[in-house]
Amino acid sequence: MAQLSEIIQWCDATLKSHEFKDYAPNGLQVEGDHEVNKILCAVTASQSAIDAAIAAGANLLLVHHGYFWKGEAYPITGMRGKRIKSLIKNDISLVGYHLPLDSHPTLGNNAAIADLLELENIEALDPPERNPIGNIGYLKQAMSPEAFKQFVSDKLSFDATHLPADKSSIQKVGYCTGGAQDFITKAAAQNCDAYISGEVSERTFYEAQELNVHYYACGHHATERYGVQQLAKAISEQFNIEYSYFELNNPI
């Protein structure tokens, strides 16, 4: 068992959350029990994840996608009201880390993608960034675009959508998990052969052709399963607290 405040302080320091300009607050979003004895982690703070935390007897729900996003309406009503009421009623804290968890060089979503795809010589996708959100890595051996589609699909357990370019082989790969399809322009500027993200837009089809960068959409959820699990494991080891992961396979 550990103090909630100590966990938040450790996470904030580890992830350097104060250095990020984000779309939602990072850290503690809904305050529950001040003593934490079990953590459940999930990609998104859906009602299903909250129900799983209640069933598991967890009093901290750790997520990548939490609440209070910029542009959302202020009233806590409807679906969001039900979710927050469930958390408060059961004394469960909601803790979310977004961009800091994408970016972290060992615990982050992008770091996990590099490990899964066995990428080497990792670089920043946008070199001037203090804490790069996207990265570039190199395959040990070049692959054909078709072989690379099968490779990423197998590694991420997701049937990747491939938007083709003219290049006949792939070795230099840009990547940024989630909804970062528009970073394909950054990948092109760095002369990447391919770029990976989670989601895909209609315009990306033409960008892949005209920028000559193969694009692979590998699922917003599928590319961001890993950061919360790695962070929860690190918290568990630091504070000797039990944790578990809730998987609700979102096809997007």
- Band of pLDDT at residue 165, cut at 50, 70 and 90: very high
Q: Which residues in the chain belong to E strands, given as ranges?
A: 2-3, 27-30, 35-36, 38-44, 60-65, 93-96, 120-124, 135-143, 161-163, 170-175, 194-197, 214-217, 242-245
Gap between the Cα atoms of 169 and 215, Å rounded: 13
Q: Does the pLDDT value for residue 76 go beyond 90?
A: yes
- For residues 135-154, give the mean pLDDT: 98
Return the bridge partners of 170, or none. 143
Q: Which amino acid is at 166?
A: D
CB neighbours of 197 closer than 8 A, spacing ≥ 6?
175, 176, 177, 178, 179, 180, 181, 183, 184, 215, 216, 217, 218, 223
Written as six digits, the tokens of 44 are 């998104």
Give percent of the chain above pLDDT 70. 100
- For residues 22-36, give the mean pLDDT: 97
- Band of pLDDT at residue 118, cut at 50, 70 and 90: very high
Domains by residue range for the chain, with CATH: 2-97 (3.40.1390.30), 104-223 (3.40.1390.30)
- Band of pLDDT at residue 1, cut at 50, 70 and 90: confident
